[in-house]
Amino acid sequence: GAVVSQHPSWVICKSGTSVKIECRSLDFQATTMFWYRQFPKQSLMLMATSNEGSKATYEQGVEKDKFLINHASLTLSTLTVTSAHPEDSSFYICSATLDAHNEQFFGPGTRLTVL
């Protein structure tokens, strides 16, 4: 139980284009989802907290207009990297949590490479 999937697992795009990454909780309803980015050989940095039906809460220093997050249903959150640039190349990981359990279940990650 508590499986989280991400799609795509990897994506290569040209600079200036937008890329959408999906995060799905497959066997549970997740009112809260989180988006992290991880640079090579570094730790996970929280980008934003996403609650179903409301605006995401972004961490300090994360551009909300560049990293658009939509949490339209209890099983799906999307992260759109708008006008991507090479410096946005990273490993993006989402997680989902069940209310009152405070345990996050992590997706397998999406490797984004911007040329």
Partner 1 sequence: AQSVTQPDIHITVSEGASLELRCNYSYGATPYLFWYVQSPGQGLQLLLKYFSGDTLVQGIKGFEAEFKRSQSSFNLRKPSVHWSDAAEYFCAVGSLSGTYKYIFGTGTRLKVLA
Region 23-42 residues binding partner 1, contact defined as CB under 8 A: 32, 34, 41-42
Which 3 state secondary structure label does DSSP give 88? Answer: helix
Per the CB < 8 A criterion, the answer to whether 1 and 27 are in contact is: yes
Q: What would you report as the CA-atom Rg of the chain, rounded to the nearest whole angstrom?
A: 13
Query: In whole angstroms, how close is the CB of 110 to partner 1 at the nearest point?
Result: 10
Query: In whole angstroms, how close is the CB of 90 to partner 1 at the nearest point?
Result: 13
Our separate counts of H helices and E strands in the chain read: 0, 11
Rounded Cα distance between 15 and 24, Å, is 26
Among 14, 43, 60, 65, binds partner 1 (CB under 8 A): 43
Region 49-88 residues binding partner 1, contact defined as CB under 8 A: 49, 57
Where do contacts with partner 1 occur on this chain (CB under 8 A)?
A: 6, 32, 34, 41-46, 49, 57, 91, 93, 95, 97, 102-104, 106-109, 111
